[in-house]
Structure 1
Amino acid sequence: MVVGLTGGIATGKTTVSNLFKQYGAYIVDADLIAREVVEPGRPGNQRVQEQFGKAFFFDDGSLNRKAMGQKIFQDQILRKKLEQILHPLIRAEMKRQTAQYQKKDQHGLIIWDVPLLFESSLTHLVEKVIVVYVPREVQLFRLMERDQLSREEAERRIDAQLSIETKRMRADFVIDNQGSYQNTERQVEQLWKSLSLRNG
């Protein structure tokens, strides 16, 4: 069974993903794959350099993610160009990892950890969708604190994604992550049990 796990920036999706991993789920992490496909020597790295120039890369050839992030969150056209380069590479690797896990364990629960699951129109590739939720104000506060951003910068990053309220409405399951870690852990445990039963 393949289940999509998503949320908004700074809603705590990584925490929930790690909890599912502890229970035995196989995690296909889109963010991790996104980093891997632009490593020096990989086709994604070369294509991004060709499109954006070497100003966004360190001397060792690795991508300067901070500089790139600042640029693309201010320019929707550039963000789309970057997505057009990287998304096909990321999806191909996600499908490869999924097939590998399914071969290893046909009854395993596979979690696709994808920040832009809705925005990238990937919901048709998963059987159910879990959204990790906190209200926008909590999201904004956490993002400003975590990434040392101004309110304006944080709002721009949040606004680049589908609103968390829309994601919550589209979800099959919602993990409310505005309370304690223990509260989140209890919700994940209950959902793990429920999904495991469905999965046989």
Structure 2
Amino acid sequence: MLKIGLTGGIGSGKSEVSKRLSAKGAMVIDADKIAREVVAPGTPGLARVVARFGDEVLHPDGSLNREKLGSLVFADSEQLAALNGIVHPLVGERVAQLQREAALDAIMVYDVPLLVENKLTPMYDVVIVVDASDDLRIRRLTGQRGMSESDARARIAAQATREERLAAADIVIPNEGSLEELDSRVDEVWGDLVLLRAAGG
């Protein structure tokens, strides 16, 4: 099994790369998606979040109100640590389960937004960074996601710098051009990963 850590700053196009690798046969584990699953309605994870933060973090239908929870935790490091203490172990259990179920020759791609920030590079055989300039990422965030420029800049500033991310990369996928150029680079990278797997990592 080849373990790939895939990361990139907000607006870099990491999810586009993730989709393409999945289409080629990689088993993609999306940490953010799993983090949502473990606090879905009816889960022990959601019950623990409510026990810690109160009913006001729920929508009327019983689902988690992420905006409300976010407003409580992002301004308070103690509250954020409490939330992470609930969610991270549950995500870890689910990831371990998916790994156990995967084929021995799988190429596992872990889509981890904060891989560099959380110093997770040693967990992976290969770290892939999707790279785009800050200016282009701001244009994408304001244009495609409707963020204000100040919000986009704040999100980028809260993450690792471009330089820090590139320093952690074994493979870089630039994403500043067309989707055709991205397809071509992903094709090359996939070929390299298949060779690496064949060589035993």
Please report the TM-score for the alignment, with normalisation by the length of structure 1: 0.90
| Count of aligned residue pairs for this structure pair | 197
Q: Does 1:128 align with 2:133?
A: no
Q: Which residue of structure 2 aligns with residue 45 of structure 1?
A: 46
Query: Which residue of 2 is the match for residue 78 of structure 1?
Result: 79
Work out the CA distance in 1 between the residues paired with 2:178 and 2:92: 33
**SS of structure 1 residue aligned to 2:29:** strand
Q: CA deviation at 1:106?
A: 1.6
Q: How has the CA–CA distance of structure 1 residues 136 and 76 changed in structure 2, closer, same or farther, with 3 Å as cutoff? A: farther
Structure 2: how far apart are the matches of 1:185 and 1:138?
19
The equivalent residue for 2:159 is 161
Please state whether the residue corresponding to 1:61 is helix, strand or coil. coil
Helix, strand or coil for the counterpart of 1:174? strand
**Residue 109 of structure 1: aligned partner:** 107
Describe the shift of the 1:5–1:123 C-alpha distance in structure 2 as closer, same or farther (beyond 3 A).
Answer: same
Deviations 1:56-79 (A, max 9, x none): 210122112233345544444433
Give, in angstroms, the shift of residue 142 of structure 1.
Answer: 1.5
Contact kept, 8 Å, 1:27 with 1:111, in 2: the verdict is yes
Equivalent position SS for 1:199: helix
Per-residue CA deviations over 1:137-177 (Å, capped at 9, x if unaligned) read: 21222222333222222222222221232111211011111
Secondary structure class of the residue paired with 2:113? coil
Cα shift readout 1:70-120 (whole Å, capped 9, x = no counterpart) = 55444444333322221121122112101211xxx2222111111112223
* 1:192–1:166 CA distance, 2 compared to 1 (3 A): same
Query: Which shows bigger deviation, 112-121 or 69-78?
Result: 69-78
Retained in 2: the 8 A contact 1:4–1:129?
yes
Cα distance in 1 for residues equivalent to 2:81 and 2:117: 12
TM-superposed CA distance for 1:39, in Å, is: 0.4
- CA distance in structure 1 between the partners assigned to 2:81 and 2:137 by the alignment: 24
CA shift, 1:11, in A, is 1.0
Contact 1:73 1:157 in 2 (8 A): no
Matches within 5 A, 1:56-67: 56-67=57-68
Asked if 2 retains the 8 angstrom alpha-carbon contact of 1:73 and 1:156, the reply is: no
* Equivalent runs, 1:137-176 vs 2, <5 Å: 137-176=135-174
TM-score, normalised relative to structure 2: 0.89
Structure 2 SS opposite 1:167:
helix
Say if 2:116 and 2:164, in contact at 8 Å, map to a contact too: no
Aligned-pair identity (%): 38
Q: Does the 8 Å CA contact 2:9/2:156 hold for their aligned counterparts?
A: yes
Q: Assess, with a 3 A threshold, how the Cα gap between structure 1 residues 84 and 127 changes in structure 2: closer, same or farther.
A: same
**What runs of 5+ residues in structure 1 fail to find an aligned partner?**
none
Is the alpha carbon distance of 1:167 and 1:55 closer, same or farther for their aligned partners in structure 2, counting shifts above 3 Å? same
Change (3 A) 1:52 1:159: farther
Stretches of structure 2 lacking an aligned partner (at least 5 in a row): none
